[in-house]
Structure 1
């Protein structure tokens, strides 16, 4: 027993002497720590799995596939979050108002609506945002960047969801259905507006004439009929308009854009009402 104890003390003393000879124990531990480095950039990690996940940002590989809809993801965690869109599971809930969310990131963003914290500020116009992503999207209004392009008519958009809504004009898809009648809509906001035709709710009154509106934006547009304000100006000819939708329609005169395509023939139109009239030919 004494011999074994002496051997252990000798071993410990020897190791201590080795590590004290060249600075610190921490320095020597780093020598024996494995490091996995990316060949395409400066990324490195002590975990091989972390490196494998990182490499997919270069290769575009998406090995995790949803069996419900076929969408693929680079990370397994992203697939798990996506699956909740099919199951309806919302495990993250707000302690302030009780709202539930499928993703923790969405909950964090929601909580900021209670705190009104907006740490990301635009250096051009000083607007503030609760999310960095929202600021990046907003900056496209200044830069004119439209990275999302329609493969049918080549129209481009600053936001991915705007492209998705636009694509439904070509496909005719209307995934948002009214539970009270047979109406269906391509955009969820239009379903919400439609529901007010059943309820008759108009919570936004005009202080100048007493007219009431179901949408706050409609009230803002209406007020301009009293003030004469036309905040949306055309950069090509100087014409101004009371709302952005009228400016967009006007801009098509200059650009020649025809985003409304017929699903039966190759005809395309600048305005939706023109497409509606055209469809009567096929009927």
Structure 2
């Protein structure tokens, strides 16, 4: 028997007998409707006993508690990586399967995460519906706006139980934890080098492929890493954003400024393994080492 649209509509209404008075959304259980109402009222009845963060759902509060306890009950069957949330583990699995279930209807690009698709869609729509009340910055995703708000409030709700470091984002805390655990989940398929961050692994792979995706708009020089391209751009603009606090010398790169600071502090971090001489720059230490290799070579050949 074929159910008419009118009959189907009646059946759906019977199944969803609890209706939200504000937006009309229907629910099969009163509990679900009451939980939905919090999206309108802003009520957050579940609070974390450690840091005071509050949540609309008990499940969300339980998941948050794992950022304090370090509990990671969900494990990847392929590589053994563990996660605090089941959703995070399922998303991680796509790095093994290559699955990209979220597809852009305009250009066909596909993504492993829904948030990545939404960010991509911004290129097409330019839509940024979530705005910061403090500075007016706008964002495609609400979560990004809430995370940005912490730059104003200084809130850092995620902290490391090992050393006490605090972080504004759970992602940053997770990356930090690898400095304690030594975990390096991203491996190079060519040479098996492993990395704590995916971005570092992708940058490393360019040493094998020779890919240089970042180009200078002025002279067309290309670079494997974005930061190297930005450093190069300063050779055209003359910008020197890194200044010495002691003598006001300024530098194009931060590394150059830190190296210069050793002329004031007297620090010599590079030491010769043969005679113990120390140097402010690695290059000077390597040049010094040649005085030993030349002596050894003359000794072995009998040349004075």
TM range (shorter): 0.5 to 0.7
Partner of 1:214: 224
Per-residue deviation at 1:246? 9.2
Q: How many residues align?
A: 201
Distance 1:128 1:232, change over 3 A: farther
Equivalence map 1:23-38=2 (5 Å): none
Contiguous gaps of at least 5 residues in structure 1 = 1-32, 37-44, 74-78, 250-272, 274-283
Q: Deviations over 1:60-79 (max 9, x none)?
A: 346xx747577565xxxxx4
Q: Distance in 2 between matches of 1:233 and 1:240?
A: 4
Q: Is the 8 A contact 2:184 2:197 kept in 1?
A: yes
Q: Deviations over 1:134-181 (max 9, x none)?
A: 122223333333222222222222222111111111111111111111
Q: Deviations over 1:10-63 (max 9, x none)?
A: xxxxxxxxxxxxxxxxxxxxxxx8799xxxxxxxx862244479877257346x
Q: Distance in 2 between matches of 1:150 and 1:108?
A: 30
The structure with more radius of gyration: 1
Equivalence map 1:67-86=2 (5 Å): 71=83, 79=86, 82-86=89-93
1:166 aligns with 2:173: no
Per-residue deviation at 1:191? 0.9
Q: Distance in 2 between matches of 1:149 and 1:246?
A: 33
The match for 2:143 among 133, 142, 147 is 133
RMSD: 4.3
Q: Distance in 2 between matches of 1:122 and 1:34?
A: 34
Partner of 2:30: 47
Partner of 1:147: 157
Q: Deviations over 1:201-225 (max 9, x none)?
A: 2243446666532223321123235
Distance 1:136 1:90, change over 3 A: same
Distance 1:71 1:182, change over 3 A: closer
Q: TM-score, normalised to structure 2's length?
A: 0.50
